[in-house]
Amino acid sequence: QLAGLAVIAFGLWLRFGGPMAEFATDKKSPELFFMGLYVLVGAGAIMSAVGFFGCCGAARESQCLIGTFFACLLVIFAGEVTAGVFAFIGKRVAIQEAQKIYEDAYEDYMKNPVGKANSTIYRYHVALQCCGKGVEQQTGLPCPENIQLPKASNCLVEIQNVIDTHLRLVGIVGIAIASITIFGMIFSMVLCCTIRNMREMI
């Protein structure tokens, strides 16, 4: 249950607390990236709920509840593997989607550098700590203060770095969840067999 709550908190932080959260405040958003986060949060919620079956089954020595616990863990494990493969395959697409969102905001600003277009492009620059799409494309852009130019001049590169970093974190958390799930399945089967043997002896 604690692991599930930790996963939920981690997924929500990536979704609402990191730089990528800015891309969800606009009309468009990198759907593949956020879909992976929703799967992560869902897996955490299921883990917390499944932990209840495991606790009750162990406390009451119920083979039925422990068997349900094992089946749920098996489903979670299959979902984690699927989500991991999906994230690995869809990483390039997620990067392209996020870059396209920034490029659209950039073009909107170039056409009308006031009002909403100005606040949108500035919000992206602050979140990503970058400015423009290259040194030659910084003129007149609302750049945040204290950023390292020209190192952070290309926001398209920064978007790729941010998504790579976040997906790496998701992968690490996924591996940790998978390890916990495997141990949970092993221990649940051992406990189930022990309870059955004890009842046969009685």
Q: What DSSP designation does 30 have?
A: -
- Please write the tens of the pLDDT for every residue from 51-64: 877 777 777 777 78
- Rounded to whole angstroms, the Cα distance separating 187 from 127 reads 44
Conformational region of residue 148, where left means phi above 0, alpha means psi within -120 to 50, and beta covers everything else: beta
- Rounded to whole angstroms, the Cα distance separating 195 from 79 reads 29
Rounded to the nearest integer, the mean pLDDT of the chain is 77
| Best CA proximity match to 86, nearest among 167, 3, 197 | 167
Question: In the numeric block, which tokens belong to residue 166?
Answer: 């976040």
Say what percent of the chain tops pLDDT 90: 0
Question: In the numeric block, which tokens belong to residue 201?
Answer: 């002896």
Q: What is the pLDDT at residue 18?
A: 67
Are 102 and 124 within 8 A, CB to CB?
A: yes
Cross-strand bridge partners of residue 133:
154
pTM above 0.95, yes or no: no
Q: What is the pLDDT at residue 46?
A: 81
| Best CA proximity match to 36, nearest among 140, 129, 148, 167 | 167
Dihedral pair phi/psi, residue 143, rounded to 5°: -90, 140
Are 56 and 6 within 8 A, CB to CB?
A: no
Q: What is the pLDDT at residue 26?
A: 58
Which residues fall within 8 angstroms of residue 24, CB to CB, at 6 or more apart? 15, 34
Would the pLDDT of 137 be above 60?
no
